[in-house]
């Protein structure tokens, strides 16, 4: 890889890794598999998985002790 493209590639891959970790968490935690027929049902399933993940994060942050 040329020297001038390596820093840009590192920044892009760091962002990509952060995004993909969220999807991997949903896939393993909620057994996310989109096996529906039609985009409306697939969107509904993804929306419910996102909502469940957000509630999971909310509970995590609510249970954390507040810094002094």
Alpha carbons within 13 angstroms on the beta-carbon side of residue 61 total: 6
Extents of the domains making up the chain: 6-63
pLDDT greater than 80 at residue 58: yes
Q: What is the pLDDT at residue 63? A: 92
pLDDT greater than 80 at residue 65: yes
Q: Which residues are CB-neighbours of 17 under 8 A, at least 6 positions away?
A: none
| pTM for this entry | 0.56
pLDDT greater than 80 at residue 22: no
Q: What is the pLDDT at residue 8? A: 86
Q: Which of 21-25, 40-44, 52-56, 58-62 has the lowest mean pLDDT?
A: 21-25
């Amino acid at each position: 890889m040329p020297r001038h493209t390596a820093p840009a590639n590192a920044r892009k891959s760091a962002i990509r890794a952060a995004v993909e970790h969220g999807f991997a968490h949903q896939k393993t935690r909620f057994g996310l598999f989109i096996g529906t027929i039609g985009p409306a049902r697939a969107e509904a399933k993804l929306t419910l998985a996102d909502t469940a993940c957000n509630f999971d994060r909310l509970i995590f942050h609510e249970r954390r002790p507040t810094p002094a």
